Chains A and B, each alone.
Chain A
């Protein structure tokens, strides 16, 4: 029974083929991705989540970008822009940027840690469905890669005016984007739900 699935994009009922190793199942009618089976999904995702949290800590505590104009130097961190927007009377903007570039990615990683560490130890975390659902709701609001494009545009814009010095945090942030993308790609949601279903 559990091998039957309705496509989330066109509602067609179809049988999920058994995949022993890795592979992707697409809807035969509309082409939506129905299932992605990954090798060692839990271990890989857990490792990437841990790496991501380390990079996140570095990205938020070291200098991000510095701006040099004649004798003046302005040193900034990832949070400077958010604080500055708030100080300029733009709390809405400040909040959206804080959510999309800092809080949502952090929450995603912490939730994944909360789910994956017990699963790895053959236990089932309390309230797994709620936490896992929350992770899915967060996904569209994590926009670090868009922020990176924003950095690129800003640096090009300011390059004529002054000298821009990248800091350690910028490189960790860049690495974090790739780690989080890999984390999302290595996650096999069906596997997590199956573990929950067979919890007893």
Chain B
């Protein structure tokens, strides 16, 4: 890396995260608003590491009841059967619907875990001031930003099943508490990805060049 890398931070500038206007920073602790659009300016997202850790830990905790507790209960002709996320996947495999089983498995089980593992990895590497492949780590961050929303698919499936299967005593489906925990995991991981500041990955790069 060359020695003349200019970033907003080392040039004493702040970039507005909403309109991207560059302003001169009035000092590290100064409270500033963007002269163009009025947004509060921060050189980096405030308390990014702490907030992201807290949300990641919360998501890990909620992930357990989300997978252990049933998300739906099907009542058909007096018989009740409850389903967890995993039992739904297994049901699809047994009925030979591989593509659907894969969609649910990837969206509901694989993606949340992947997202949390990536965030933990990014947090640890940033805290240890790692210089390992900043560009690839930024790419990993973008994956967590893009992919997280698709985990909501199971919640929407529950919503649609609950709406459609309501035929009096013949058959009905009810949402269960597992769905609430699962929804919480998805929402919390979305907030976690938002609170992480990818510029922290690059800050180490510059501090070593000085």
Residues of A near B95 (CB, < 8 A) are 160
Query: Which interface class (under 10, 10 to 19, 20 to 34, 35 or more) fits A?
Result: 35 or more
**B57 on the A face (CB < 8 A):** no
The answer to whether B112 has its CB under 8 Å from any CB of chain A is: no
User: Are A156 and B150 in contact, with the CB atoms below 8 A?
Assistant: no
Query: CA A164 – CA B161 in complex, angstroms?
Result: 12
Q: Assess whether B167 is in contact with A197, with CB atoms less than 8 Å apart.
A: no
B-side contacts of A11, CB under 8 Å: 7-9, 15, 199, 202-203
With an 8 Å Cβ cutoff, the count of chain B residues facing the other chain is: 66
Structural contact, B157 and A150, CB atoms closer than 8 A: yes
A121 contacts partner chain B, Cβ-Cβ < 8 Å: no
| A185 at the binding interface (Cβ < 8 Å) | no
Q: How far is the CB of A177 from chain B (nearest CB, A)?
A: 13
CA distance A104 to B160 in the complex (A): 19
**CB < 8 Å A-B pair total:** 189
Among the stretches A25-33, A38-46, A49-57, A106-114, the one at the interface with B is A25-33
Residue of A nearest to B139 (CB): A31
Interface residues of B in 151-185 (CB under 8 A from A): 152-168, 170-171, 174-175, 179-180, 183-184
Q: In the complex, A9→B177 CA distance in Å?
A: 37
Q: Is the interface of A mostly helix, strand, loop or mixed?
A: helix
Asked if B84 lies at the interface with its beta carbon under 8 angstroms from chain A, I say no
Q: Is the CB of A9 within 8 A of B198?
A: yes
Min CB gap A114→B, angstroms: 16
B164 touches A74 (CB 8 A): yes
Instruction: Give the contacts of A79-119 with B (CB-CB under 8 A).
Output: 80-82, 84-85, 88, 90, 92-93, 96-97, 100-101
User: Taking A10-B138, A12-B5, A151-B156 as contacts, is the C-beta distance between A90 and B175 under 8 angstroms?
Assistant: yes
Partner of B161, one of A6, A100, A130, A154: A154
A151 and B22 form a contact (CB under 8 A) = no
Residue B190, interface by CB 8 Å:
yes
- Please tell me if the beta carbons of A81 and B199 are within 8 angstroms of each other in the complex: no
Contacts of A29 in B (CB 8 A): 135, 202
Residues of A within 8 A of B68 (CB): none
CB of B19 closer than 8 Å to a CB of A? yes
Chain A residues near B150 (CB-CB < 8 A): 146, 149
Contact B7 A13 (CB under 8 A): yes
Specify which of B15, B21, B155, B163 is in contact with A76 (CB 8 Å cutoff).
B163
Given contact pairs A10-B202, A11-B7, A76-B164, A96 touches B157 in the complex (Cβ within 8 A):
no
- Indicate whether A93 sits within 8 Å of B164 (C-beta atoms), given known contacts A8-B15, A146-B150: no
**B50 interface hit (Cβ, 8 Å):** no
Q: Which residues of B contact A80 (CB under 8 A)?
A: 163
Interface bits B7-25 vs A (CB < 8 Å: 1, else 0): 1110101010111111000
B-to-A contact residues, CB < 8 Å:
5-9, 11, 13, 15, 17-22, 36-39, 92, 95, 97, 100, 103-104, 107, 134-135, 138-139, 141-142, 149-150, 152-168, 170-171, 174-175, 179-180, 183-184, 187, 190, 194, 198-199, 201-203
Extra pairs beyond A8-B15, A143-B156 (8, CB < 8 Å): A11-B9, A12-B7, A30-B135, A81-B163, A129-B38, A133-B39, A156-B100, A193-B21
